[in-house]
Amino acid sequence: MPSAHFVFSWRSTLLFCSLLAAAGMMRAAGGGDSTPAQLDFFEKRIRPLLVDACYRCHSVGKEDPKGGLRLDSAAALLKGGENGAVISPGRPDQSRLIEAVSGKNPDLIMPPRRRLTPAQVADLTAWVADGAPWPKESPDHPMARAEESAARARRHWAFQALQQGAPPNVHSSLSSRLVQTGHQINPIDAFIEERLRSAKLSPPTMAQARSLIRRVAYDLTGLPPSPEEVEEFATDPSEAAWERWIERLLASPQYGEKWGRHWLDLVRFAETNSYETDDAKPNAWRYRDYVIRAFNNDKPYDRFVREQLAGDELSDGGTEGQIATGFYRLGIWDNDPADKELARYDQLDDLVATTSQVFLGLTVDCARCHDHKIDPILQREYYSMLAFFRNINLYSGGGPNDQIPLTGLEPEAKALAVTEPRSKSSDTFILLRGNPNTLGDRVEPGFPGVLNPPKLRVVPPSSGRSSGRRLALADWITSPDNPLAARVVANRVWQHHFGRGLVRTPNDFGLQGQPPTHPELLDWLAKDLIESGWSLKHLHRRILTSRAYRASAQPSSSALKVDPGNDLFSRFDMRRLTAEEIRDSILWVSGSGNSKMFGPGMYVTLPKEVLASQSVPGKGWGNSPPDEQSRRSIYVHVKRSLLTPVLLGFDLAETDRSTPVRFATTQPTQALGMMNGAFFNQQASRLADRSRNECGNTVSAQIRRVLHWVTGRPPSTDEVTRGVAYIADLIRDGANPSAALDSFCLLALNLNEFLYLD
């Protein structure tokens, strides 16, 4: 009897426990008697917590969830992972999920990169104790759709690792001819021709030699080739000669000035603070000179990035590294904000926005007030990125934290640079709705989880002068394991050679940006860049030696029909010269150009009407000597409230935020300025003087020489005849010969052939 009684009691207890567990599992699966209050608690407290803390590793969005565990559905939760179940409904003390988040077991701590708050652990514990209720969900449930949408977002092309694909084998007649003549096919052409072949289009014909040499000279130096240089290439347009010209232009000091200007667009370079007083940023020009030298010296791009983000934290950063951190000082700054704390966070937001867009092609700044509405970037991750910059001394209006003394340069040399206090790093909190007066949870520095970053490791420099946070950020951004940095810069180099990137939204590789037209080519270029030691000049050579770059701008009728937007690169897109190229070209054609490099910016003469537009007319604008004013446009002083009209009229980059693309507009003020502006008329007169000095008083020779300088090709007999007739008509109408030639030179500088590249 005792034995039988024991067996009966054991079986009854087992049955009772099984019923309790089944009831809990039913609630967890959404099929039990969960109350509205329980489900409301789940939707408001538990599901957002799981999404925020767990889904990046344990959801349907991961092709291979960590440990085989998913936590995005009731069925997956109850199934558990490779090590079995993770919850025991009704028994939080026996649930591995609670054990992991509570931190009681040092060998099992989740999430791995940040601890949950005590309140969050308490919510999960209460939920499991209550039977882990989970509402019934169909595939059409709004939350189910949202979770699937988030999963698709994490599978977005830009968030995946760089692909290892080899260039395709192409069998076009063009490729066959190249092989037969002993030429290797540039891998870029293999990718381009494969897409053209699939669209039943033939590769475009090659551009004429004179167009090509003008195209590449502007693309690499921003200046026109001389007539003699054009004719030299026109007489020998061979592959070997083309490669020699590329090397010659890459070695030119003007290369750094041209490509440095592209970079200054991205980092919102200016030499003043904006707002009403728009005071000067002292010695900001040193950063500009650093950028020019970096391009000329082919500084590896990963080093270039690391110096700007953390040059002061590099053990071998030196003076260049200190100057490079002027990157942090380039943004706008309000010297008398109504809300100082909000102004500080606006400055930090500027750093998050610029850093994420320029180096990663991500709009992380969209998550300042809430989770990103498009990309899988959480508000918590925005503030984790902001935490990298939280401890730096921001710009303080000429105070001791703005400039640092430089060693090894001229006496008393200083530069704008970033500094960090020696004291303990400041805490960073989520700002609810972006309001600095409403603090949420504390966060630590961290990277966007969608990119599967490694565990953050911060090593403070031995000098003790900074936290080491920014160096950790820079190291991760430039790591070969980060798929974005190389993709983004490879796309930018392509953009400035072809007029648009393989991704047409170069600062936004996220879901609201445009996808790449040739994703395999973009990844191949990014991998090639990394393997070259991050050499941008290597990438230039790859692109410029391709036949795609040397394609004609004249489209075939079939290409216009099949590829109207030129997404397949069935031709080369014409482009107008940039604002700086227009001004610099006029100076060089007229013979006035001053090739002096580096040093403080110069001030061009501005009309008094322009100066009067300031609250204090003329404040902060100098008057440089004429020779200084003839320097290249990259050396024009950039005052945010007083941009140079000659440049502004032709779509100068915005200075308040990153400018990834300059869109070429066509406006009446451009033609009016070029015909009536003082600068254009002055330079036309100097061009006339140059032609008289070289050609004497023979009008036809003067006309021929002017047109050759301006167009880069020998003019036709008909063009010279019309020019002579134009001057004769002006003289007959009462103009003196000198003024008539000035007028013709002004007309020549207004030719589309001078302003556009094909």
Stretch 86-107: mean pLDDT, rounded? 81
Q: pLDDT-based confidence at 172, cuts 50/70/90? A: low
Q: pTM here?
A: 0.82
Stretch 728-745: mean pLDDT, rounded? 94
In eight-state DSSP terms, residue 42 is I
Stretch 732-742: mean pLDDT, rounded? 94
pLDDT of residue 147: 55
Under DSSP, is residue 758 helix (H, G, I), strand (E, B) or coil? Answer: coil
List the beta bridge partners of residue 442. Answer: 429
Which residues are CB-contacts of 630 (< 8 A; sequence separation ≥ 6)?
Answer: 587, 592, 593, 594
Residue 603 · residue 639 · CB < 8 Å? no
Residue from 134, 124, 132, 102 nearest 21 by CA = 132
CA distances from 235 to 231, 232, 242, 293, 758 (A): 6, 6, 12, 34, 19
Stretch 416-432: mean pLDDT, rounded? 82
Q: What is the DSSP string of 587-654?
A: HHHHT--B---SSS-B-----HHHHTTSSSTTTT-----HHHHTB-GGGB---TTS--HHHHTTTPPP
| Residues 625-678 pLDDT 10s | 999 999 999 999 999 999 999 999 999 999 999 999 999 999 999 999 999 999
pLDDT of residue 169: 81
| Residues 293-324 pLDDT 10s | 999 999 999 999 999 999 999 999 999 999 99
Stretch 264-282: mean pLDDT, rounded? 92
Residue 680 · residue 746 · CB < 8 Å? yes
CA distance 711 to 89: 81
pLDDT of residue 64: 65
| Predicted confidence (pLDDT) at residue 605 exceeds the cutoff of 80 | yes
Q: pLDDT-based confidence at 92, cuts 50/70/90? A: confident
AA identity, residue 567: D
List the beta bridge partners of residue 403. Answer: 416
| Predicted confidence (pLDDT) at residue 180 exceeds the cutoff of 60 | no
CA distance 580 to 223: 9
- Which H or E run contains 756? strand 756-757
Helices (H), 395-544: 469-477, 483-498, 519-531, 536-544
CA distance 347 to 51: 30
- Distance from the first to the final alpha carbon of the chain: 104
Residue 71 · residue 58 · CB < 8 Å? yes
Vertex 28: Cα angle to 25 and 30 (nearest 5): 110
Out of 4-8, 14-18, 397-401, 440-444, give the one with best mean pLDDT. 440-444
Helices (H), 312-378: 318-324, 340-355
CA distance 581 to 586: 8
Q: How many CB atoms lie within 10 A of CB 206?
A: 15
CA distance 77 to 55: 12
pLDDT of residue 13: 41
Stretch 128-147: mean pLDDT, rounded? 65
CA distance 713 to 212: 12
| Residues 199-247 pLDDT 10s | 999 999 999 999 999 999 999 999 999 999 999 999 999 999 999 999 9
CA distance 209 to 173: 22
CA distance 563 to 559: 5
Q: What is the dihedral of CA 45, 47, 53, 54, to 10 degrees?
A: 150
Stretch 725-754: mean pLDDT, rounded? 95
| Residues 585-603 pLDDT 10s | 999 999 999 999 999 999 9
List the beta bridge partners of residue 602. Answer: 636
- Which H or E run contains 11? helix 2-28
pLDDT of residue 400: 46
Scored b (16 or more CB within 10 A) or e, 586-625 reads bbbbbbbbbeebeebbbbbebeeebeeebeeeeebbeebe
- Which H or E run contains 2? helix 2-28
CA distance 358 to 641: 24
pLDDT of residue 4: 39
Q: What is the DSSP string of 180-194?
A: HTTPPPPHHHHHHHH
Peptide bond into 668 cis (omega under 30): no
Under DSSP, is residue 665 helix (H, G, I), strand (E, B) or coil? Answer: coil
Stretch 482-497: mean pLDDT, rounded? 97
Q: What is the DSSP string of 231-244?
A: HHHHH---HHHHHH
| Predicted confidence (pLDDT) at residue 183 exceeds the cutoff of 80 | no
Stretch 22-33: mean pLDDT, rounded? 48
Going through 321-475 in order, the beta strands assigned E by DSSP cover 403-405, 414-416, 428-431, 439-443
pLDDT of residue 736: 94
Residue from 488, 520, 483, 486 nearest 501 by CA = 488
Stretch 703-722: mean pLDDT, rounded? 95
CA distance 515 to 288: 32
Residue with tokens 């008539």: 740
Q: pLDDT-based confidence at 32, cuts 50/70/90? A: low
CA distance 34 to 57: 28
State the average pLDDT for the chain: 87
Residue 255 · residue 220 · CB < 8 Å? yes
Stretch 712-719: mean pLDDT, rounded? 95
pLDDT of residue 411: 82
Q: How far is CA 500 from the centre of its chain?
A: 13
Vertex 248: Cα angle to 242 and 252 (nearest 5): 145
Residue 133 · residue 27 · CB < 8 Å? yes
- Which H or E run contains 722? helix 717-732
CA distance 438 to 284: 35
Sign of the C-alpha dihedral computed for residues 22, 25, 26 and 27 taken in this order: positive
Q: 133: which 2 tokens? A: 């209720």
Q: What is the DSSP string of 462-484?
A: TT-SS-SHHHHHHHHHTSTT-HH
Residue with tokens 């604002």: 579
The three-state DSSP-derived secondary structure of 546-589 is CCCCCECCCCCHHHHHHCCCCCCCCCCCCEECCHHHHHHHHHHH
CA distance 144 to 134: 12
| Predicted confidence (pLDDT) at residue 622 exceeds the cutoff of 60 | yes
Residue from 182, 46, 62, 188 nearest 119 by CA = 46
In eight-state DSSP terms, residue 131 is T
pLDDT of residue 175: 52
Q: pLDDT-based confidence at 110, cuts 50/70/90? A: confident
Residue 212 or 98, more confident: 212
pLDDT of residue 576: 96
- Which H or E run contains 757? strand 756-757
Residue from 667, 740, 736 nearest 703 by CA = 740
List the beta bridge partners of residue 206. Answer: 551
